Amino acid sequence: SGARLEIVTPERMLGVDVGGMNHVPYARAFNETDTRVTLNQRVRAVRPEGGRLCVEIGSDHSDHRSVRHVDWVVADHGTAATADLYFELKPASTNLGAVDYGALLEGRPQRVTRNPRGEFRLFRIGDAVSSRNIHAAVFDALRLLKDV
DSSP class of residue 15 equals: T
Q: Which of 18, 42, 70 is the last residue of a domain?
A: 70
pLDDT tier at 130, thresholds 50, 70, 90: confident
Would you say the pTM of this structure is higher than 0.75?
A: no
pLDDT at 133: 65
Nearest Cα to Cα of residue 6 among 79, 78, 71, 65: 71
Task: Indicate whether 89 and 132 sit together in one domain.
Answer: yes
Q: Are residues 96 and 58 part of one domain?
A: no
How many domains does the chain contain in total? 2
**What torsion do the CA atoms of 139, 143, 145, 147 make, to the nearest 10 degrees?**
140
Task: Give the residue from 70, 97, 124 where a domain finishes.
Answer: 70
- Residues 45-76 pLDDT 10s: 999 999 999 999 999 999 999 999 999 999 88
Last residue of a domain, one of 39, 70, 101: 70
Domain that holds residue 99: 84-145
129 vs 7: which has the higher pLDDT: 7
Q: What is the DSSP string of 79-122?
A: -----HHHHHHGGGBSSTT---HHHHHHTPPP---S-TT-SB--
pLDDT tens digits along 75-97: 887 677 778 899 999 999 999 99
